[in-house]
Structure 1
Amino acid sequence: MIIALELGLLYAIMALGVYLTYRVLDFPDLTVDGSFTTGAATCAMMIVGGLPVPIAMLGGVIAGMLAGAVTGLLHVWGNINPLLAGILTQIALYSINLRIMANKANVPLLRNETAFSWLREQKLLATWVSVALFAVIALLVGAALYWFLGTKYGVALRATGDNELMARSQGINTGRTKIMGLMISNGLVGLCGALIVQYQGFSDISMGIGIIVAGLASVIVGQAIFGMTSVWQAILAAVLGSIIYRGVIQAALLVGLNPNDMKLISAALVVAALVVPQLKFFKQMRIRRRSSRAVAEGAA
């Protein structure tokens, strides 16, 4: 289960990117499946090419941001439906990712220095030391996102997601805000891809397939369990949701389920996270929680 914790914390960075578009910007972005692989492939090829690891990871982030910018431009300038814009970019990225990896479906990193080489050499991967390190990374990224959402640009992005017409009437350039939000979101996804490719030791053309489901599952499960009454709670819920999601997947494997059924299990988990909170019992529980919070605030 320590491996599930490690993966949950690393994939939490991708979940934060999905949270930014899905919840904050209210933009159903399907670019994620492609930009995750783009970030991973770019980072892998730069490491294989002999560039320093920080530069390679920055390259993965920039590649992800460019992918998000393409989706944003297709939607804002091309007036293309958000879902279709993301699908078009995702499809195009499959060919682009193959080109990035020199027309190879797989690029190994086993003989190259990575961000986790020292942990492997010291046999600290899959230990509580690596879990603590990955938790610090996830929390730092979450704290940076929380800080950004409190800035002028972050507030404009949140306003665009809440009510685009109202935001536009206040002088906010919502088109530019959407592009910026998609770039930051896919930059986080690209960063996650860059970390995962170094963690697993290879880049694969299919590594991003279905990653959007994992991101949505993390955000929705975290929201259903921990709530999201404030920004910092929503960010923390996305991180914890990612850990829970990976824990469920790992538990399914441990009880002997077929690994080929993992996508089905992921989809079922998302459905359950969406449907269960709508049941009468949980609705009443949320109403009681809000009432007790209001009473406590009134007494204070």
Structure 2
Amino acid sequence: MFSAIFGSVEQGIIYAIMALGVYITFRVLDFPDLTVDGSFVTGAAVAATMIVFGYHPLFATGVAIVIGFIAGCITGLLHTKGKINPLLAGILMMIALYSINLRIMGMTSDSSVGRPNIPLLNAETLFSKFYVFWSTLGIDESINQFFSMLGVTYLPSTWGTLFLMIIATLLIKVVVDWFLQTEIGLAIRATGDNKKMIRSFSANTDTLVILGLGLSNGLVAFSGALIAQYSKFSDIGMGIGMIIIGLASVIIGEAIFGTKTIMRTTLAVIAGAIIYRIVLGLALRVEFLDTGDMKLITAVIVIAALILPQYIDKRRENKRKAKRHAERLTTYDHVLNKGGNAIAETPTDK
């Protein structure tokens, strides 16, 4: 059980970067961007291909982010300059990226029709390089001894991946928080709230939309590049339903932790991604479910995340109404009693 939760937390933190990208488009820009399903694989394909060709994993990951940024900008151009419906623009880019991703991964072979996957079993990745450094610190043994004293078994061989991703994800969160509070970030947020209003201040909303979509898909591609190095492979089908996972993370996090400030919301998105992966991992441990049911489980989690907050809010509203009604009745009874007592105490003429 502990090992399953540990693995889910590791993956959840990596997917949290993708969820932050989805948050920028769906919540900040109010743009239903389906490019995510394609740009996630693009990040994985670019990073895996460059690693196979011998490039440093850090450089390969950086290039993946840039390519993802460009893909998001193209979606923005299709919508703003091509006047294409935002949903359709995302779908068109997602479809185009499917073939592009096959071509990218096909560069590692002689195939003229592309390649659907790239294994990285013997390749050096960011995680394998960090593992060499982490193992010299000797921290794993101390942590595992502590959990062993608590009676926890099946401990992971290394905590380095978890530590690395916590630092990386928190750094990205801080950068996103800072950016959304800059002048450009505030303009992007205003564009998502009311385009007409921000245009009245002579702001170029087209540029802001393109920039927001580029940043979002850059983060998504970054997550895809990390997942490819974490899983030791890149596959053309790994991005299917990624937008649903991102939305589930955003919705779950917002429902549990709230959205009062930007810093709180981004933290809620990260926590939502981790909670989603833990729930999914525990669900797959049920005997009558297997890995083929992942999409069904995802759909159920998203449906629950959408319906339960509405049900909870409705119950809270009903309780508030009942409380206000009870207070009004109490006040009314108090007035009546006071009036009755006043009449009873009034002297009568004899």
Q: TM-score, normalised by structure 1?
A: 0.92
Aligned residue pairs, count? 288
The structure that has the greater radius of gyration is 2
**Residue 203 of structure 1 aligns to a residue in which SS?**
strand
Counterparts of 1:158 and 1:242 in 2: how far apart (Å)? 22
Question: Residue 42 of structure 1 is aligned with which of 41, 46, 49?
Answer: 46
Compare 136-145 and 119-128 and name the one that shifted more: 119-128
Asked whether 1:130 is paired with 2:147, we answer no
**1:223 CA drift (Å):** 0.6
Choose from 246, 265, 284 the match for 1:215: 246
Map of 1:166 onto structure 2: 197
Alignment gaps of 5+ in structure 2 = 107-113, 141-155, 321-350
Q: CA deviation at 1:111?
A: 1.8
**How far did residue 260 of structure 1 move?**
1.1
Contact kept in structure 2, 1:30 and 1:212, CA below 8 Å: yes
Q: Which residue of 2 aligns with 1:113?
A: 124
**2:77 paired residue number:** 73
**Residue pair 1:223, 1:237 contacting (<8 A) in 2 also:** yes
Match of 1:139 among 162, 166, 170: 170
How far off is 1:284 after superposition?
A: 5.0
Q: Give 1:47 shift.
A: 0.9
Q: Report the AA paired with residue 239 of structure 1.
A: I
- Paired residue secondary structure (1:107): strand
Point out where structure 1 has 5 or more consecutive residues left out of the alignment: 290-300
> What does the per-residue CA deviation read over 1:101-156, in whole Å, with 9 as the maximum and x for residues that have no partner?
11111111122211011455649676444323211111111111001001111000
Question: Superposition RMSD on alpha carbons, in Å?
Answer: 1.8
- The 1:261–1:100 alpha-carbon spacing in structure 2 relative to 1, beyond 3 Å, is same
Q: Which moved more, 1:107-116 or 1:77-86?
A: 107-116
Segment of structure 1 superposing worse, 128-137 or 29-38:
128-137
Amino acid at match of 1:94: Y
- Whether contact under 8 Å (1:27, 1:82) holds in the other structure is yes
Question: Bigger CA drift: 114-123 or 9-18?
Answer: 114-123
Contact 1:2/1:127 (<8 A) preserved: no
1:244 pairs with 2:275: yes
CA distance in 2, matches of 1:287, 1:216: 28
Q: Secondary structure at the match of 1:116?
A: helix
What is the DSSP-based 3-state SS (H/G/I as helix, E as strand, rest coil) of the residue aligned with 2:187? Answer: helix
Alpha-carbon distance in 1 for matches of 2:319, 2:9: 33
Q: Does 1:275 align with 2:335?
A: no
Given the alignment of the two structures, is residue 104 of structure 1 paired with residue 115 of structure 2, yes or no? yes
1:21 aligns with 2:32: no
Where does residue 296 of structure 1 map in the other structure?
Answer: none
Q: Which residue of 257, 276, 286 maps to 1:255?
A: 286
Aligned residue in 1 for 2:60: 56
Q: Which amino acid aligns with 2:122?
A: R
Contact 2:131 2:161 in 1 (8 A): no
Q: Which amino acid aligns with 2:313?
A: F
Amino acid at match of 1:76: T
Distance in 2 of aligned mates of 1:69 and 1:263 = 29
Say if 1:43 and 1:56, in contact at 8 Å, map to a contact too: yes
Task: Give the structure 1 partner of residue 296 of structure 2.
Answer: 264
Match of 2:97 in 1: 93
Alignment partner of 1:229: what SS?
coil
Q: Give the CA deviation at 1:269.
A: 1.2
Secondary structure, aligned partner of 1:212: helix
Structure 2 length-normalised TM? 0.79
Query: Which digits, 9 at most, give the CA deviation of each residue in 1:70-114, with x for residues without a partner?
Result: 110100001001100000000010000000011111111122211
> For residue 7 of structure 1, what is the amino acid of its counterpart?
Q
Structure 1 position 6 matched with structure 2 position 10: yes
Check conservation: 1:13, 1:191, Cα contact below 8 A.
yes
Task: Go from structure 1 to structure 2 and tell me whether the alpha carbon gap of 1:52 and 1:129 turns closer, same or farther (over 3 Å shift).
Answer: closer
Query: C-alpha offsets along residues 241-262 of structure 1, whole Å, 9 cap, x if unaligned?
Result: 0000000110011122121111
- Check conservation: 1:2, 1:126, Cα contact below 8 A: no
Indicate conservation of the 8 Å contact 1:2/1:128, yes or no: no
Q: Within 2, Cα distance between the matches of 1:130 and 1:51?
A: 21
Distance in 2, matches of 1:201 and 1:22, equals 30
The amino acid across from 1:264 in the alignment is L
Counterpart in the other structure of 1:206: 237
Q: Say whether the 8 Å CA contact 1:3–1:126 is kept in structure 2.
A: no
